[in-house]
Amino acid sequence: MSTIFRLDSSIRTEGSVSRAVADTLEASIVEAEGVDTTVIRRDVGLHPLPSDVWATSAFAGFVPEGDRSAEQVAAQALAAELADEVVAADVVVIATSLYNFGVSQHLKTWIDTLISDPRFAPGTATVKGKPAFLVIARGGGYAQGTPREGWDHATAYLRRILVDVWGLDLDVIETELTLAEVTPQMAELRDLARQQLAESHEAARTVGRSVTLKLGSAA
């Protein structure tokens, strides 16, 4: 039996590409690992963390335990809860979208708050080597040679945190042109967008099946 931690940060439900591809990935992992697989869910897109929780939790670390305010104690308890969810998982899935060329504020708050827990501070190795998947959707095209090459300021940052800071064994599933279907100016890109989406779902199925092998080699 395995445990998946899945975080969603899209502000959309219906029509969300990151959620849909993550659904395919989750189903593939569950199929590979068995029906007893447990899924821990955290949806910061629909249920955002308080905007001040990170700062409150981070500053609490500089205050003697007995002198902390009720707000600081509560913030650190929430940070510990977030950390517990990831530590308990065998596999980590993070589904997100590129918003205004950067990281979702809800996802960033989750990351910052998690780092305020000692188990996820830079230099620790609490989750090192765990299989992880980043599912990211981008409304436009940001590939090399496109007009907006270099405008994606989220993916590289997320790789840095997930791989270089936390040491996760990361696979990235990227889908572009997700706004083509609803943007008249992108009408000529719709066939390419559909192709990319199909390829992302297939990639999710493929890497999901690889989890069993990864977990076996890490045992």
Q: Give the 3-state secondary structure of residue 60.
A: helix
What was the pLDDT predicted at 215?
Answer: 84
Per-residue confidence in pLDDT tens, the chain, 219 aa: 799 999 999 999 999 999 999 999 999 999 999 878 999 999 999 999 999 999 999 999 999 999 999 999 999 999 999 999 999 999 999 999 999 999 999 999 999 999 999 999 999 989 999 999 999 999 999 999 999 999 999 999 999 999 999 999 999 999 999 999 999 999 999 999 999 999 999 999 999 998 887 887 665
User: Is the CB of residue 173 less than 8 Å from the CB of residue 133?
Assistant: yes
Q: Where are the domains of the chain?
A: 3-218
What was the pLDDT predicted at 216?
Answer: 72
What was the pLDDT predicted at 212?
Answer: 83
Task: Give 97's Cβ-side CA count (13 Å radius).
Answer: 20
What was the pLDDT predicted at 60?
Answer: 97
User: Is the CB of residue 96 less than 8 Å from the CB of residue 75?
Assistant: no
Nearest-10 Cα torsion for 113, 116, 119, 121: 110
Q: Exposed, middle or buried by CB within 10 Å (0-12, 13-18, 19+), for 106?
A: buried
CATH number for domain 3-218, candidates 3.40.50.300, 3.30.420.40, 3.40.50.1820, 3.40.50.360:
3.40.50.360
